[in-house]
Amino acid sequence: MDYANNHYVPQFYLKRFSNNSKSIGMAEILNQKIVENASIEKIASKKYLYGKNNKIEEILGQFEGIWAQTIKNIIDSGTISQTEDTYENILSFIAVSDARTLKTADLYDEFADATAKSISSVRKFAGKNDFNFQGKIGYEIPNLIPLQGILTVCNVIADLKLDLIVNNSNRGFITSDDPLVKYNQLFVARQYQRNYGFGHVGAQVFIPISPQYCLCLYDGIVYDSKRSGDNKILLNSSSEVVELNKLFLLNAYRQIYYNNSEHSSCIKSLLKYYKKDDSNQNDIIVLGGGSKKLIGMGSTGVRAKIKLPFFNISSPFLTVPFPSHEAGPLRPNAIKYTQHKQNKAESL
């Protein structure tokens, strides 16, 4: 195995969108370039993204074997097994999928650089030139910090309902170089301009696992889903699939991927929607000036209004007061586990 070439979207996952397990359709978002048969071995990867000692890559490889079997079972059976192991495997797959990407790595590097520059400017404002640096500051392994928080993320999302979205239309699901999508229909409906995190009220999490199937976690208190009796959401209309594909496209970082048999005209038509929304960018915020600065970071999430008629928002949440600060509104489960982590850190 080539441990130098670190795949931030695993190959076993991409193969589920391929006809031959070797190549996949790919589109560069910014220049709208389409590659009908891109090598799975070469895409969605970066040399030594997880460091040169291979430890993270080896650990991820071990878990990928478990996740690959879990996803295979779901696709082969067309349903999600109601076992504790299956649910835990899905939660860990979702949490790691969010933490391991190049977009996440770049976010942490941008935050480190912004912090260093702010410290430098504050020191200069105080008449000191003892914190000067050349070039851009970043982490040796930028994904290490989010990967260390995987257990907390799993605990935070463990209260969300899990459904399998089944695509029965003639259009397939796409995926991307950032396949895990965090969305929040409630926040979009309320025009609530806050980051859409795992712990927020109204959280929705989507990750397509093949052209026909998509895993979906959602806040079951806020939303009622049009689910069948076996935890499935059935989509028979291609327009509903296109709406989800818009969401996957707008969440992408640089590239989208799709099954080789998908017609290129459909992909070109989909790519046009990217120009309509540029909200899903890594967000580094610097507030204040002089000696007082506050730096925050986050991925803003897709704020475009995506039509998802298979979810209904419970009416009380459309009018209940929302806080204006970044921290909320959070679900009780999120408050419980983030406070537990904070208390544990303070006791060390």
pLDDT in 10s for each residue of the chain, 348 residues: 567 899 999 999 999 999 999 999 999 999 999 999 999 999 999 999 999 999 999 999 999 999 999 999 999 999 999 999 999 999 999 999 999 999 999 999 988 888 888 777 767 766 777 666 677 888 999 999 999 999 999 999 999 999 999 999 999 999 999 999 999 999 999 998 777 889 999 999 999 999 999 999 999 999 999 877 789 999 999 999 999 999 999 999 999 999 999 999 999 999 998 865 545 444 544 444 444 444 445 556 788 999 999 999 999 999 999 887 766 799 999 988 877 555 544 443
Question: How many residues are listed for the chain in this entry?
Answer: 348
Helix H or strand E segment including 313: strand 311-313
Encoded tokens for 144: 């290490």
Distance from C-alpha of 53 to C-alpha of 167, rounded to nearest angstrom: 41
Q: How is residue 195 annotated by DSSP?
A: -
Distance from C-alpha of 64 to C-alpha of 58, rounded to nearest angstrom: 10
Provide CB contacts within 8 A for 200, sequence distance 6+: 184, 187, 194, 328, 329, 330, 331, 334
Provide the 10 A C-beta neighbour count for residue 237: 13
Cβ atoms 4, 237 nearer than 8 A: no
